Structure 1
Amino acid sequence: MEEESMEEEGGGGCEAMMDDQNHNNWGAGGYGRHLLGPAAAPLGNSLLRGPAAGPTADPELSDVPEANGVLRGCEPGKGGAGAIAAAININASTSKFLMNVITIEDYKSTYWPKLDSAIDQLLTQSPGDYIPISYEQIYSCVYKCVCQQHSEQMYSDLIKKITNHLERVSKELQASPPDLYIERFNVALGQYMGALQSIVPLFIYMNKFYIETKLNRDLKDDLIKLFTEHVAEKHIYNLMPLLLEAQSTPFQITPSTMANIVKGLYTLRPEWVQMAPALFSKFIPNILPPAVESELQEYAAQDQKLQRELMQNGFDRGDQSRKRAGEELTYNGSSACASSRGYR
């Protein structure tokens, strides 16, 4: 069957077809009446009843006019499902509807390959890359498959596709040398989370009418869980010691990379905070308990140590000659705030 154009069909159509029972009965008793109009109601009733023992039980059928050539040669007294069905000449509008029926073979040979290719590109794109795919076409493709009751198959294919991708990512990370491990994990995490920003909206109809309603879950949560299970869980015990080592050596990795990874790990699984509370507390608020007065001296000593390390790595305090007398910054918030008002 040749594929119809990927234009999105009229609004609301999918919602009306989401109920499996109603959608599966689209024939003479359901959508047949809608497509053929009131004139098709007697025909639908006759088809549902089956062959009549004698003359058709619907005498009004003989008076049914031709609806754009749909009903022809329906003679009274020669009823029966077979005779009536043979008398149907499907008009253009009905033919168009029938051509839009997507069989499982159509889905596997035409629709899923389009989705598969688009997902591949989204999962492997770098930030800022131009992806030569039609988002409107992919969105419409998902919409049609959902309306034709292929949501379960499509969800299964999507999960399998992304799982295979993440398993390859995990193997590539395992082969990374220690000096590149953190950076490559950061790239993999950022690339995947960026891809989800496109993949999840493209499958919004599947999420709404299948995952949320039948599975009581959310697509984004499911896809984040996949990364947690197939990548992060397998690498967390190798990654965390490297992060702690990098923390003890300022600027061994860039602050932005450290922040991205720590925040990402917290999003994937908040309980990983317990592995390195001090590390997570630098990027996630309210991780550690509130400060107490007895520990202020310790906090000050840590700040001084950090300043010394910064100076040893080439970071100075800047030109102090332009500072006005009496305007030294203090730890007193009100004094610092008051002195800052003297600057222009």
Structure 2
Amino acid sequence: MSDTDFPLVQFMRDGLDPVAEMARIRAEQPIFPLKVPDGSTVWLVTRYEDVRAVLGDAGRFSNDFANVSGAVQQEDPGGLGFRDPPEHTRLRRLLTPEFTMRRLRRLEPRIHAIVAEHLDGMEQAGSPVDFVEKFALPIPSLVVGELLGVPRQDQADFVRLGADRFDFSAGPEASLKAINDAMAYLTELVARERADPGDGLLGMLLREHGDEIADRELASLADGLLTGGHDTSTSMFALGTLWLLQHPEEPARVRDEEGYVTLVVEELLRYLTVVQVAFPRFAKEDLILGGQSIAKGEMVLCSLAAANRDAALGEEMDTVRPGREVAPHLAFGHGIHHCIGAPLARMEMKIAYPALLRRFPGLRLAVPESEIPYRGISIVYGVDALPVAW
């Protein structure tokens, strides 16, 4: 790998694994300087201990979108990821009660139904099919739609709004249009919910906190949930299924052994770490991290994928060992920005994997592994298609 590749190394993979260069950086220079085109330095953090230190320290590191170069000319992306306290604290306090397991269990029957409907669709399409198109891609948006309270008649369009923003084949303008379309729809939905609150998350928030949040602000939070819950879950469904099919002894255990899927899901979250880097942090002051001096205002990128493979966590971290006892993984981040939708993502996977393997006990790849179209350089790692047969 050449020096010119270093600014991108944190976004690169070799199959399901981070490129070998990431392990070398973690071992030899774990706080690594990336020289970006404008001549500035971005610090890549790769060790588990250091990543936890950065993500857990909102006092010395900022997530504020205003730190991003040129952000004053760009529209605030909304959501929680680019917010600092006290604004982040206020918004997260509103959302947190909606993501308790007690509240989320009301979605469980619908998640089972959505999964079953798409397994029916796969069966009707006939073998072989593209697992991403028929299963992994639509389900996360439908689940987020159910969470928010999107009307059933709007759900097909809502799935499209979720998928189109991640389809870069038509260029960045098309992706930006999809984001704007989603915000327009969600702003309209919030206005309708304010007038007549339903039983979804939007309706509950408006009933309980309607005077504390504006329509556009709530639409931005909803869009952040769609963005955060769509591509990540799609990738976990696809890559997790790929791993299961690569290990023939595993599907029967996931299908038949009660509780085993919970162990598999947790280990796959660590091993795959589909969100490769955390939201960028910016040093609020001159500081020392892992022995390295970082100047006030410099950007810090935490490699979640590298940290989750750190040998400091245990032995053979480049393999999947369901049930292993290690420190908590960082697939959902850490600290005040730990992914608020993590319980919902886990619920989806624990329902989907066993249901898939029970419906298609003979599921297999329909192409050689060498022909699987992995994404190239990407923040959220995945595959563009996964042809399967049974």
Q: Identify, as 1 or 2, the structure richer in strand.
A: 2
Quick check: TM above 0.5?
Answer: no
Quick check: which has more Rg, 1 or 2? 1
- The TM-score with structure 2 as length reference comes to 0.21
| Bigger RCO of structures 1 and 2 (CA < 8 A, at least 6 apart) | 2
- The TM-score with structure 1 as length reference comes to 0.23
Q: Identify, as 1 or 2, the structure richer in helix.
A: 1
